[in-house]
Structure 1
Amino acid sequence: MRRLQHHPQQGLTLVEMMSALAAGLLLILAATALLHNARAAYQNIDDANRVQETGRMALAHLADALRQANHLPWESALAMQQRPVLAPGLRGIDNSRQANKLDPAWGHFGAASGNGLNQSDILMLGFFGAPPHAGGGIVNCSGAAVPDGPLVETARSWAIYYIASGAGNEPELRCRYRGRSGAWTSDAVARGIEAMQVRYAVDSDGDGRPDRWLDASAIDTAMWPRVALVRIALLVRGNQRRASAPATPARNYDLFLDHQGNSAYRFTEKEGDHRLRSVFQTTVFLRNAATLPAALP
């Protein structure tokens, strides 16, 4: 019977072991770098999508709200023997965040300017509800239907839009309105909005066509009913802070340009805060007349 020969097991030399460890370490480092790059790319794409979605959603919300400005139940209004004299359901304040100082239904349209978050403006929109049989509903900031009520100023619903800091000091577009109890409350419309600028196209000569774009500070009480178009610009930022070279200069974002192409409002990011940012703009035509006709045509 043939005996099996047993050979003693030979181990790795020190050089072979160090080479194997080095190769394994390089493989782990390469895999880690690949995973890190893939994660960073995914976060950047997700951040960019979030900025685009936030900007589009916020502009769509504001555009819908602007189309409600000056709304009233025309059937009830035209049937009244004595037409009510109503103030225009559109006002604005440049560079202010003091929405809590405003109560347009009672004629309180004034608030301090010069303290807006990133010089952001305030936009005030007033409207009456629609009767139950109307095809389309009028809603407030929360999406709740505005009930039909008497055509008096104190019964008009108002939505006040402004920029303020929310949870975690994150800037957001907020809306202030009266709830069911009649008390003022505010809700966040969209987070990550750093600045809002509003301009107004005014028909200054009364020919039915807007001829000048003005800031709110240049519009007096008699001119607000002549506003035909409203232009809104929003600056939206992402969540991810992006690495950059130490000497990278701070970037500028122009929300509005004047007739000569110069910046009418410029936002400059803070040093080292290289987040993704984008400017969104829209122009809305006001479809409701600010005043009732004196008589039926």
Structure 2
Amino acid sequence: MSRVKGLTLVELLIAMVLGVFVLSAVFGVFVSSSISVTSTGQYNQIQESARLALRLMSDDLSQAGFYAGLTGTSLTTRNVSVDAVVNNDCVGLGENNASVPAGRGHFRTIWSYRQSAVPSMDCTQQALLGSHVLQVKRLLGPNVAATALSENRYYLVSNHAQARLFAGNQQAPVLVQGRYWQWQHRVYYVERRDDGMPVLKWRQLYVNGGMVEEELVEGVEMLQFLFAVDSLGDGRVDSYITASAMSEAQWDGVVEVLAVTVYLVVRAANDDQGGISDGRLRLTLPDGVVSYDDGIPRRLFSTTVMVRNAALVAEGAG
């Protein structure tokens, strides 16, 4: 009768040790794979946030100053009859820098500044220090039918001889061969939410509420601009100026903005727990170098936008 042989104590110990090594290797691969998936997800989210933010601002910047038949002029109440009042407005520096044209000065279709302890606009008091604020005004196309106007929007009706700006809840004025366009004023800035997450916001013009704040993209932590300007009137870029370095005279039509480079710092929601990043980061922006050491993944993105409707400088005087 044969005897059943088992493992000796030494063999059992060896098997257990080998099993531990195998399990450790498998667990290590699993953890590494999990960290890689998490990190990839973070960077994909950063890319997607940057893509959306840049697209929104690029669309507005490329069409800034589009005023249908008045494109290329600096608007005042001499060339536009304003039949509407804006409550809760975002008014910037300059004589003519509100949502609708005033009777004096150069109407600023693009304007920007660097947020400081003393903000230049009341509606952006909570914008992050060091980040830039951008203001853009234009008509949204295509033109709309008089029967399709929204009561909560502002509109410009114009022909080759005159233009009138009015609220959608008013009786729409009628001009011979006039076309109706939605009038838009937007202010972009970065603000930190109550949960600590930085977000890109805008204030957008409505009849009800004036410049209403809306959240656009989370993770945008820094916003800066570099302006390519023409100071000689020859249609060529003479210099590149940051928003914080542009003078009031330059904003008022001494130079023509031909292009704008947008810079975004976008971060992930959480820190890089896998240690793929060492947690230290230095990024070069138009206003200088910014440093981060909290371990949260970040990326710097930029794009250059051609301004298609640069205003004629001569129209801004007076």
The answer as to whether partners of 2:155 and 2:165 remain within 8 angstroms in 1 is: no
Unaligned stretches of 5+ residues in structure 2: 81-102, 147-151, 158-162, 168-182
Aligned to 1:189: 216
Question: Using the alignment, how far apart are the partners of 1:212 and 1:68 within structure 2?
Answer: 22
- Tell me the TM-score normalized by structure 1: 0.71
User: More helix by proportion, 1 or 2?
Assistant: 1
5 Å-filtered alignment, 1:134-173, equals 148-149=155-156, 156-166=183-193, 168-173=195-200
**1:243: Cα distance to partner?**
5.0
The answer as to whether partners of 1:99 and 1:162 remain within 8 angstroms in 2 is: no
Higher Cα radius of gyration: 1
The answer as to whether partners of 1:118 and 1:194 remain within 8 angstroms in 2 is: no
The answer as to whether partners of 1:77 and 1:83 remain within 8 angstroms in 2 is: no
Aligned to 1:218: 245
**1:197: Cα distance to partner?**
1.0
**1:126: Cα distance to partner?**
1.1
Paired residue secondary structure (1:164): strand
Determine if the alignment matches structure 1 residue 279 to structure 2 residue 300.
yes
Aligned to 1:269: 292
The answer as to whether partners of 2:153 and 2:205 remain within 8 angstroms in 1 is: no
Aligned to 1:74: 69
The answer as to whether partners of 2:271 and 2:297 remain within 8 angstroms in 1 is: yes
RMSD of aligned residue pairs (Cα, Å): 3.7
- Identity percentage over the alignment? 25
Question: Using the alignment, how far apart are the partners of 2:231 and 2:72 within structure 1?
Answer: 27
Question: Using the alignment, how far apart are the partners of 1:169 and 1:12 within structure 2?
Answer: 59
Unaligned stretches of 5+ residues in structure 1: 103-110, 135-144, 257-263
Choose the corresponding residue for 2:122, options 58, 77, 101. Answer: 101
**1:121: Cα distance to partner?**
0.5
Question: Using the alignment, how far apart are the partners of 1:292 and 1:207 within structure 2?
Answer: 12
> Could you report, residue by residue, the CA deviation over 1:108-143 in whole angstroms, capped at 9, with x for unpaired residues?
xxx77xx85251110001123443169xxxxxxxxx
User: More strand by proportion, 1 or 2?
Assistant: 2
Aligned to 1:260: none
Question: Using the alignment, how far apart are the partners of 1:167 and 1:209 within structure 2?
Answer: 45
Decide whether aligned partners of structure 1 residues 167 and 20 sit closer, same or farther in structure 2, where only a CA change above 3 A counts: farther
Choose the corresponding residue for 1:125, options 116, 136, 145. Answer: 136
- Tell me the TM-score normalized by structure 2: 0.67
Question: What amino acid maps onto 1:148 in structure 2?
Answer: Y
Greater Cα offset, 152-161 or 172-181: 152-161
Aligned to 1:290: 311
The answer as to whether partners of 1:161 and 1:173 remain within 8 angstroms in 2 is: yes
Aligned to 1:241: 272
